Every structure is written in structure tokens, then in C-alpha cells.
Amino acid sequence: EAQVTQNPRYLITVTGKKLTVTCSQNMNHEYMSWYRQDPGLGLRQIYYSMNVEVTDKGDVPEGYKVSRKEKRNFPLILESPSPNQTSLYFCASSLLAGANTEAFFGQGTRLTVV
Amino acid sequence: GENVEQHPSTLSVQEGDSAVIKCTYSDSASNYFPWYKQELGKRPQLIIDIRSNVGEKKDQRIAVTLNKTAKHFSLHITETQPEDSAVYFCAASILGGDKLIFGTGTRLQVFP
């Protein structure tokens, strides 16, 4: 089944404790991105990747890191999480190297930083 | 950079009525405008999209219109049903561009 898989679905952590949210797609998509969803603010892009080894900042990259060593995986890393990073996170992938084809979203990761 | 504004933030309609959600964008170079539906507790999913070479696109009860001159586009849902209740997001992107910019979302409630 074609899908984007994120793990974990739910995570509660403490301030400053490094964490990684994994994202994997099995559709051979070139474009992958991370968004955070907050009430009243919609979906804001954190980082994106046009292809393997190519990553770039979105609109809210502060406090996050990503890597794209393989086409299928695009992990999101929070080196030192803070409470303002409490949010619902979505990974997404698109077929082409660009943002103008259908984005397929993962199930979401609800992160709470205390 | 691109900015997308979406209105209203909440919309309540009676079953069978029509619902209209409007978005405006700032970058005249934008030419791809998708709409995503997010049901409660679920992931966003594409329901319809339009490119700037057309002014209107329909798919059963949903339609999207685009006015490039005014830089706005709208989602129209006719004969609404309770299962249309969800949050709807508009978005904009430039052909070959690297970012998809989303609006802030509209929570649609359809009352039976």
C-alpha cells in the first residue's frame, strides 16, 4: 500500500532531551517536507527536500534539523526541544521535485514538550 | 515570499446548503492552487486542485474557481452533507517552486 509513515504517533518529552521523528515513504517520491500544525496558524513548513542530499529551510526552521540520506526517509530532529515546539507534526511527500503536485501526508505526530 | 489568507475561519451550514471558502494569495507568479480536507484526528488529503491556465474546475459536489487578476480562489461545496464537516486548507505554489504555502484553515460544520 502506498503510504507515508511517521513514528511515533504520540510523544511526550522534557525540555532539552534530543528526539527524532521518523518519516518514510514507499512511493519513490522525490519531494518531502515537514509541517507543523498549530491552532489558528494552519500548516507551516519547517524544512523540505527536493531530492536526496538536498534540504532547505521552510518558514519556521528554528530549532529543527533534517537529513535526506536516502530517498525514502526524511527524519526530523529536535536537538534541544522547548515547550514552544509542542505541536502536531506532519511529514509529506510528492512525486516530483517541486511543490506543485499532490502532497501525501503521514498520520501525524503529536509532540508535547514539558 | 508568498502569503495565503483564508476566510472564514469557521463556517456553519445546514445540511443541503452550499458552503464557500475564500483564499487570497500575494505572489502573482503562483499558479498551482490545491485544497486539502482534514477530518478530525486525520491527516490532510487533497480533494481538488486548479492550475492557473483554467478558471474553474468541478468534481461532483465540489468546485474551485480562480481569479488571477484579483489573486483569489474559492472552494464551493454544494448540497453539503454531515460528512463534509472537516477543516479545509487552501494552498498556493509556483510551478517548479519548492514551497507549498497553506492558508490558516476553515472549520466547516454541517448540521443535519
Run of H or E residues at B24: strand B19-25
**Cβ pair A48:B97 closer than 8 A:** no
Residues of chain A in contact with residue B29, where contact means CB-CB under 8 angstroms, are: none
Question: Is residue B1 scored above 90 in pLDDT?
Answer: no
**Cβ pair B32:A99 closer than 8 A:** yes
Q: Regarding predicted confidence, which is higher, A97 or A20?
A: A20
Between CA A18 and CA A104 the distance in angstroms is: 27
Residues of chain A in contact with residue B59, where contact means CB-CB under 8 angstroms, are: none
A31: closest CA among A46, A6, A51, A47?
A51
Question: Is residue B97 scored above 80 in pLDDT?
Answer: no
**Cβ pair A102:B104 closer than 8 A:** no
The predicted structure's pLDDT at residue A1 = 81
For A100, the closest of B45, B89, B93 (CB atoms) is B93
pLDDT in tens, B53-80: 888 999 999 999 999 999 999 999 999 9
- Pairing type for strands B86-92 and B106-111 reads antiparallel
**Cβ pair A90:B44 closer than 8 A:** yes
For A106, the closest of B34, B43, B51 (CB atoms) is B43
**Cβ pair B49:A102 closer than 8 A:** yes
Distance between start and end Cα atoms, chain A: 36
**Cβ pair A43:B6 closer than 8 A:** no
pLDDT confidence tier of residue A97, bands split at 50, 70 and 90: low
- The total number of residues shown for chain B amounts to 112
Question: Percentage of chain B surpassing pLDDT 70?
Answer: 98
The predicted structure's pLDDT at residue A99 = 67
Question: Is residue A98 scored above 90 in pLDDT?
Answer: no
Q: Provide the Cα torsion B6, B8, B13, B87; round to 10°.
A: 50
The predicted structure's pLDDT at residue B73 = 97
Between CA B22 and CA A65 the distance in angstroms is: 34
Show which residues on chain A lie within 8 Å of chain B, measured between beta carbons: 33, 35, 40-45, 48, 50, 56, 58-59, 90, 98-100, 102-103, 105-108
User: DSSP labels for A40-60?
Assistant: TTEEEEEEEEEETTEEEE-S-
Mutate which of A30, A100, A107 to test chain B, going by most B C-beta atoms within 10 A?
A100
Retrieve residue A99's grid coordinates. Answer: 511543490
- Determine the average pLDDT of the residues in B7-30: 96
Question: Is residue A58 scored above 80 in pLDDT?
Answer: yes
| Contact of B76 with B20, CB cutoff 8 Å | yes
- Determine the average pLDDT of the residues in B21-36: 94
Q: Does B21 touch chain A (CB under 8 A)?
A: no
Least confident range of A29-33, A71-75, B75-79: A29-33
